[in-house]
Structure 1
Amino acid sequence: MPKIELQQDELFRYSGRNFGADELEEALTIAKAEIDDPVDKDGLIKIELNDTNRPDLWSTAGLGRALRLYHATGNAAPTSAAAPAAAVNYDFFSRPESPVEAGNRRIVVDSELAERRPYIAAFAISGPPIAEVLLDDLIQTQEKLCWNYGRKRKAIAMGVYREDKIQYPVRYRAVDPDCTTFVPLGLDNELSLRQIIEQHPKGREFGGIVAALDKFPFLTDNSGAVLSFPPVINSADVGAVQAGDTNLFIEMTGTDLKPLLLACSIVACDLADAGYTVHPVQVEYPYDTPFGRTIVSPLYFQKPVSVELAYAERLLGVALNEDEAVQRLGKMGVRAEAASGLITAYPPEYRNDFLHPVDVVEDLMIGYGMNAFPSEPPRDFTVGRLTEAEIFSREVKTLLVGMGYQEMIFNYLGSRRDFIDNMYSHEQRTAAADACVRIANPMSENFEFVRPSIIPQLLGAESVSAHAVYPHYIFEVGKVAVRDADDNYGSRTVTALGAVVADADAGFNLVSSQAAALFFYLGLEYEPSVVDDPRFLAGRVASLLVKGERVGILGELHPQVLENWGVTVPCAVIELDLDHLQKAIGSD
């Protein structure tokens, strides 16, 4: 979970009030946060955030904003005159249908970036000289957003620059990495982009994100002055921001537009709360994006979410009237409207975590006060026990461990790249995608699909395990989702076993013998059947049948699948439907 280090006095300033140690610990619960290290002699305090869905809280300004709004009385001014008002009007935001005027602040995007690192968002600020404490907090926000929310800069990378040295429009281009040179931050000599990813510390750390591209992203102004080589390093001139600078240009590049725009909005709101004027920037694309070819950022793109008041009351166990619900959401910074028993919540500019009506109910709950709910003793006495399915799953796990396998645990959600692109050829991907359960409104493309198989994630683990001594035996028992037209929801959840053997000698015969041993100890008889599956080598794959029903598959993975994953040794796999196996055992 993210941890932030901040000046306690600054947190109190943004909060609009002071807190005692115990009082602060209690107050932080509204942000699902807790004190990790108490304030030290330099006034620094470390706070751990226990919710990755709220990246807006990963800064002094963001956390202070949450505390300020929660403890404000209406829209009254906070106790500290130096603090922002309880409710800040972020009037610099554009809407997709009504962009604000950006003036000459423009970014022109190169068409060749469409298949490389396609998106960019930006804004500028002006105001008093940047204080050291604010610059430190801005750098920390940059690191937390790009590392945690931006997947170590793969999805989001942020750069901060001296705007006084920039001539608009800014040019976001794809360039030859061997012919393009500049002086990177931390050095005083020019290097090519290729040399930077090989020699510069930041290049060695983040260069792998773009190393496989034939052209690298590059950011310059209209005069050719270099801003940065995103997502790796700023220039030593325009990108060398220091305390005392007054006008800054902040940009973010990435691969997924909505998270990128949200990160841009978060930083813009933080700096607005710090007292700076935010100036929008217009980005001009030569290709289509989810919000058109011209986007003025910061952009408010979030959609309202509605919830029936009766539904919220049922989940929370308390009675709420419409006015009270609107007020409770207001304590969370959420503007809401109520009519005819329906609450419509409008996420604030810096949040995009309302994916379902239950998320609105959660904010209602926090706004109501976690300690305000009446306690009720349990009405029924029950004794907990393991389900038959769990007992069977544990038996299978024990058998696999006895065969020398190591258990893995993965997320149930993943990306199209993992579940489809890396497992199938171009011709087969459309059909494979249609067979998967896709999230209608994913927060990120990295969690867009419910996994249809455990094998892709096992291969993902194998792809980063080449340093370990072979052979590798890994497995997981967990849930997968399969399309089922006969089910009420159009899909069903299956308990599955996935196992991978990676070794120079891994092959069909090895996993066949292991499957035979597994079925023997489970007391089941099976028969192999010829099957054509493009993920496997032809003739080295078999479907497994129990009592005439298919319960799984085993075989040697196709070399193209291994190449897609970057796995350099042969791999053989077993995948079984444990629900079918348990049913077969129960029918004996």
Structure 2
Amino acid sequence: MPTIDIEYKELEQLLHIELNWDMEKLDDILAYVKAEVKGYNKQDETVNIEFKDTNRPDLWSAEGLARALKGFVNSQQRGIKQYSIAKSEVEVFVSRDLYDIRPYIACAVIKEVHLSDAIIRGLMHLQEKLDQTCGRGRRKASIGVYNLDLIKPPIEYTVVKPHEVEFTPLGFTEDMTLNDILEVHPKGCEYGHIIKYNALYPMLFDSEGRILSLPPIINSNDLGKVTEKSQNLLVEVTGTSHKTVLNMLNLVVTMLIDRGGKAYTTTIHYPEDSNYGTVQKQEITPNFDNQHLQLNIEYTNKILGLELTSNRMVELLQTAGFNIEKTSITDIEVLIPCYRTDIMHQVDLIEDIAIAYGYNNIKPNWQELPTVGRAKQDQQLINHARDLMIGLGFQEILNTTLTNKETLFNKTNRPLTPHIEIRNPKVITMTCLRNALLPGLLEVLSNNQSVEFPQKIYEQGKVIHPDQTSETKTLEEEHLAAITTHPMAGFSEIKAVLDSFLSNFDVQWQIKQASQPTFIEGRTGRIIINGDQEIGVI
């Protein structure tokens, strides 16, 4: 489950409350977003927060966390937080050669943002969390942040041959080839496998040919280094999933707007007559448009077991950070903010309604049943048989229902009786379904010859026979088998076990001499009940 470290004072300022290091009170507030305090350090003034919900990346920063909690701590701040964005002149041109490598890009310009050391750490922390989770370890998408004042637009997103380009990666002081970066730089060693097998590598250049980054590996040390003095930023996200790229950009940009930055769009130019399909050839990013989702009132009450009115639902939705477009007798049209990338179905909205309502306020409604629950009669019989065998000193064995003909027939000299075989077995030890328990017990003994005597084991379980009259063409029966082995083991000992077992079921029985290839001649008997019904062998 994801965890984040945030500056305690920063969270208080963003929420406009004072908690005075009361972790119990903070825990109560964090419960609204399914999170809790895992630890804190008063000396460093940091709090470690763990999230139980892994599909809400909008929470993984102090800014996003405060945005999600504002409606719960202050009723005057309910609803969607609106973000405005202006148009910039920054353009990005995408090469058609990227389609099979890393085809999508989205960018935004942030101006007049005042960065502190804590904000930069939070930004880098969010970037890393998004890269690892939504970006699937940067394979699906990755984020880059640059000092815009050093960049000369337009920006070119293109491909290069690995041996043709050199630049100084972030954190280094000397130029390196792209292959050297993948072999030497820590980020190259960690993420180089994403691109190293391509003949061409993706690259970002400005209009003067200066390198911004080698996505998704590392920024350049010249243009991709952000400090507290940086006031104007360029944020880019590249990846293989168009939707993921756009979502991750929105999460980073809204965080920077919350820190006082002013956001501006960029224009992405995708190549004409290419494989990009439904993607607009001139795409404006980021896009903060709200999404619409219909919430059925009756369905919501059915799921929650409540009788909420539409007005009450509207109030709870606004507390959870949504806006309402319109309501009717049956439905509520809900506006989903751009940063809530986790909302896919009305069930997601119902969960937020339940959280805002308070799970502890939902009274349990115990289901009324006409009968008292108990085990079925045949299961009671099975349980009783198991208790008897354990009481007689036997240890239960649990073998798999799948076995093989070698164990089932050949090793025990059993005749080849009808059985069910697997058409395409994955391993040679599991090629058919067992139709007897005894071969499995003998195999257990053969594998445990080093264990001290006596060994007394039993198994109670299903055996399967072919049956053309049933729907599944099989017949399942519950069988029991037991073995005792030690130097003094004999017929009288196992007969005493059988007598004790059947007597507890008040069954009258007898033994009739039999011959069976598995056992030594003259030492085998058929177990007979009701005069002529054979139920087993001893």
- Fold-level similarity (TM above 0.5): yes
Equivalence for 2:400: 399
Following TM superposition, by how much is the alpha carbon of 1:375 offset from its aligned partner in structure 2, in angstroms?
4.0
- The one of 255, 266, 281 equivalent to 1:293 is 281
Structure 1: distance between partners of 2:144 and 2:240: 15
For residues 465-511 of structure 1, what are the alpha-carbon distances to aligned partners after superposition, in whole Å with 9 as ceiling and x for unaligned?
xxxxxxxxxxxxxxxxxxxxxxxxxxxxxxxxx9xxxxxxxxx9x95
- The one of 32, 37, 45 equivalent to 2:34 is 32
Following TM superposition, by how much is the alpha carbon of 1:547 offset from its aligned partner in structure 2, in angstroms?
6.0
Following TM superposition, by how much is the alpha carbon of 1:234 offset from its aligned partner in structure 2, in angstroms?
0.6
- The one of 38, 54, 57 equivalent to 1:55 is 57
Equivalence for 1:15: 15
Following TM superposition, by how much is the alpha carbon of 1:400 offset from its aligned partner in structure 2, in angstroms?
8.5
Mapped contact 2:114–2:261 kept (Cα < 8 A): no
- The one of 48, 68, 71 equivalent to 1:69 is 71
Mapped contact 1:2–1:148 kept (Cα < 8 A): no
- Aligned-pair identity (%): 30
Mapped contact 1:71–1:331 kept (Cα < 8 A): no
Mapped contact 2:289–2:337 kept (Cα < 8 A): no
Instruction: Show structure 2 runs of 5+ residues with no match.
Output: 383-395, 405-421, 439-464, 479-538
SS of the residue corresponding to residue 266 of structure 1 reads helix
Equivalence for 2:204: 219
Distance 1:150 1:292, change over 3 A: same
Structure 2: distance between partners of 1:143 and 1:586: 54
- The one of 300, 321, 327 equivalent to 2:309 is 321
For residues 436-488 of structure 1, what are the alpha-carbon distances to aligned partners after superposition, in whole Å with 9 as ceiling and x for unaligned?
xxxxxxxxxxxxxxxxxxxxxxxxxxxxxxxxxxxxxxxxxxxxxxxxxxxxx
SS of the residue corresponding to residue 238 of structure 1 reads coil
Equivalence for 1:584: 474
Following TM superposition, by how much is the alpha carbon of 1:520 offset from its aligned partner in structure 2, in angstroms?
5.7
Mapped contact 2:80–2:318 kept (Cα < 8 A): no
Which one-letter code corresponds to 1:90 in the other structure?
Answer: Y
Matched, 1:516 2:431: yes
Equivalence for 1:255: 240
Structure 2: distance between partners of 1:47 and 1:180: 42
SS of the residue corresponding to residue 254 of structure 2 reads helix
Mapped contact 1:207–1:232 kept (Cα < 8 A): yes
Matched, 1:107 2:92: yes
Matches within 5 A, 1:123-272: 123-272=108-257
Structure 1: distance between partners of 2:266 and 2:216: 20
- The one of 346, 349, 354 equivalent to 1:365 is 354
Matches within 5 A, 1:182-581: 182-286=167-271, 287=274, 288-300=276-288, 303-336=291-324, 337-377=326-366, 379-380=368-369, 399=400, 511=426, 513-516=428-431, 518-519=433-434
Q: Which fold has the larger relative contact order, with Cα–Cα distance below 8 Å and residues 6 or more apart in sequence?
A: 2
Equivalence for 2:82: 89
SS of the residue corresponding to residue 304 of structure 1 reads strand
Structure 1: distance between partners of 2:259 and 2:436: 66
SS of the residue corresponding to residue 75 of structure 2 reads coil
Structure 1: distance between partners of 2:365 and 2:203: 60
Following TM superposition, by how much is the alpha carbon of 1:156 offset from its aligned partner in structure 2, in angstroms?
1.4
Distance 1:353 1:290, change over 3 A: farther
Distance 1:111 1:300, change over 3 A: same
Structure 1: distance between partners of 2:374 and 2:270: 58
SS of the residue corresponding to residue 348 of structure 2 reads helix
Mapped contact 2:291–2:338 kept (Cα < 8 A): no
Following TM superposition, by how much is the alpha carbon of 1:102 offset from its aligned partner in structure 2, in angstroms?
3.0
Following TM superposition, by how much is the alpha carbon of 1:26 offset from its aligned partner in structure 2, in angstroms?
0.9
Following TM superposition, by how much is the alpha carbon of 1:244 offset from its aligned partner in structure 2, in angstroms?
2.1
SS of the residue corresponding to residue 58 of structure 2 reads helix
Structure 1: distance between partners of 2:401 and 2:147: 58
Mapped contact 2:88–2:264 kept (Cα < 8 A): no
Which one-letter code corresponds to 1:102 in the other structure?
Answer: K
Following TM superposition, by how much is the alpha carbon of 1:10 offset from its aligned partner in structure 2, in angstroms?
0.7
Distance 1:278 1:512, change over 3 A: closer
For residues 372-415 of structure 1, what are the alpha-carbon distances to aligned partners after superposition, in whole Å with 9 as ceiling and x for unaligned?
323445544865989x9xx9xxx999529999xxxxxxxxxxxx
Mapped contact 1:305–1:360 kept (Cα < 8 A): no
Instruction: Show structure 1 runs of 5+ residues with no match.
Output: 77-85, 93-100, 404-497, 499-507, 524-545, 550-579
Distance 1:309 1:183, change over 3 A: same
Equivalence for 1:45: 47
Mapped contact 2:111–2:233 kept (Cα < 8 A): yes
Mapped contact 2:7–2:45 kept (Cα < 8 A): yes
TM-score, normalisation: structure 2: 0.70
Mapped contact 1:262–1:350 kept (Cα < 8 A): yes
Which one-letter code corresponds to 1:343 in the other structure?
Answer: I
Following TM superposition, by how much is the alpha carbon of 1:23 offset from its aligned partner in structure 2, in angstroms?
1.3
Mapped contact 2:250–2:286 kept (Cα < 8 A): yes
Distance 1:307 1:176, change over 3 A: same
Stretch moving more, 9-18 or 219-228: 9-18
Following TM superposition, by how much is the alpha carbon of 1:117 offset from its aligned partner in structure 2, in angstroms?
0.4
- Structure number with bigger Rg: 2
Which one-letter code corresponds to 1:5 in the other structure?
Answer: D
For residues 189-231 of structure 1, what are the alpha-carbon distances to aligned partners after superposition, in whole Å with 9 as ceiling and x for unaligned?
1111122111211101100011111111101111111110000
Mapped contact 1:162–1:249 kept (Cα < 8 A): yes
Which one-letter code corresponds to 2:320 in the other structure?
Answer: M
Following TM superposition, by how much is the alpha carbon of 1:280 offset from its aligned partner in structure 2, in angstroms?
1.3
Following TM superposition, by how much is the alpha carbon of 1:18 offset from its aligned partner in structure 2, in angstroms?
2.4
Which one-letter code corresponds to 2:197 in the other structure?
Answer: A
SS of the residue corresponding to residue 129 of structure 2 reads helix
Following TM superposition, by how much is the alpha carbon of 1:548 offset from its aligned partner in structure 2, in angstroms?
10
Mapped contact 1:219–1:227 kept (Cα < 8 A): yes
Structure 2: distance between partners of 1:244 and 1:319: 55
Structure 2: distance between partners of 1:308 and 1:156: 35
Distance 1:128 1:210, change over 3 A: closer
Following TM superposition, by how much is the alpha carbon of 1:587 offset from its aligned partner in structure 2, in angstroms?
9.1
Following TM superposition, by how much is the alpha carbon of 1:115 offset from its aligned partner in structure 2, in angstroms?
1.0
Pairs aligned (count): 410
SS of the residue corresponding to residue 133 of structure 2 reads helix
Stretch moving more, 15-24 or 245-254: 15-24
